[in-house]
Amino acid sequence: MWKLRPAILLISLAAVLPAAGKLEVYCIDVEGGKATLWVSPSGESMLVDAGWPGFNHRDAERIAAAAKAAGVKKIDYLVITHFHTDHAGGVPQLAEKIPIRNFVDHGVNTETGQPAEVLFGEYSRIRDKGTHIVAKPGDTLPIKGLDVQIVSSDGNLIAAPLAGAGQPNPDCAGYQPPPPDQTENAHSIGMVVTYGSFRAVDLGDLTKDKEYGLVCPNNKLGTAQLFLVSHHGTGSSDSAQLVHALHPQVAIMNNGARKGGAAEVWQTVHDTPGLEDFWQLHYAIAAGKDRNSPDPFLANIDEICEGQWLKVTAEKDGSFTVFNKRNKFEKTYKKR
């Protein structure tokens, strides 16, 4: 009987380890907040933002469920893009459910007032128990198997184009940058994640004034297979100049039923040349049927939902699959 145990053990380990040679990305529904779990082929994990506080630990439980499905028992790097409640508020509750080793953020909260101070104080209390990393443009997070490049942080941007980028952006002709955004959104950490030939862009809630500096007059970012739509699809982000420059095959928007998912942003992303599909975490009620994606591409269709996720599985050759947990629909995209 004991001779069978090694085989059983191997089967058990296979069930919880990330797929060999693949990058897994879980876009977790936190109702218009943000929580994206990246699992490197090496098994190391990076969680970008932690959703809202309250709601009977709703978001922490959803993140923990995705981590369990991914075979993740700890968060190696927690990246807080900026200090707003829908991104950083869930950290204390999440820390009760899963260990967090490294905390990555842009430094200190730039907003004042009691709510902002309480939020930052509660986050800092947890952050101080781990290793704190202040991200700066040009930095790389040391996640084995991935190239995670920081392109924006604390209102600053990369000065030079990334490798292979830097071409003039024709969409910038006659386009003037909007007035500076004075909120934490403009201080968001933005990143480009590369795994082999697969590239994904996540700019947090970065606003159009900062987008301008990344893609105008020259595109410093280059193109990407996957664009995680900025700022939940809010109109102060996601300029045509940015989205067209990225030229994504697929876009995923982490909107809520009544937060983000603006009709004009949906249209901009939908009409981007070369886009094959547009996936959403929620049906956006205010945008109406004509400016929401078809049912197979929606993770949650009802306002009161079960918090289903979208999962991206990327191969080193640049091909990738998107899976909808709600309806089990999936689609594979070849590297173009």
CA atoms of 195 and 333, how far apart (whole Å): 15
- Helix or strand run (H / E) with residue 86: helix 85-88
Please check the confidence at residue 11 and state whether its pLDDT lies above 60.
no
With left for phi above 0 and alpha for psi between -120 and 50, is residue 97 left, alpha or beta? alpha
Residues 113-127 have pLDDT tens digits of: 999 999 999 999 999
Position 335 confidence tier, pLDDT thresholds 50, 70, 90:
confident
CATH class, domain 21-328, is alpha beta
Residue 7 confidence (pLDDT): 38
* Beta pairing class for 218-219 and 277-280: unpaired
Residue 16 confidence (pLDDT): 47
Average confidence (pLDDT) over 188-194:
98
Please check the confidence at residue 98 and state whether its pLDDT lies above 70.
yes
Phi, psi angles (nearest 5°) of residue 324: -100, 115
What are the CA-CA distances from residue 277 to residues 57, 121, 197, 298 (Å)? Answer: 32, 40, 19, 11
DSSP string for residues in 278-322: EEESS--GGG-GGGS--GGGBS--SSS-----EEEEEETTS-EEE
* Percent share of the chain, pLDDT over 90: 93
The average confidence (pLDDT) of the chain is 94
Residues 202-253 have pLDDT tens digits of: 999 999 999 999 999 999 999 999 999 999 999 999 999 999 999 999 999 9
Residue 6 confidence (pLDDT): 39
Please check the confidence at residue 314 and state whether its pLDDT lies above 70.
yes
Residues 322-332 have pLDDT tens digits of: 999 999 999 99
Average confidence (pLDDT) over 98-127:
98
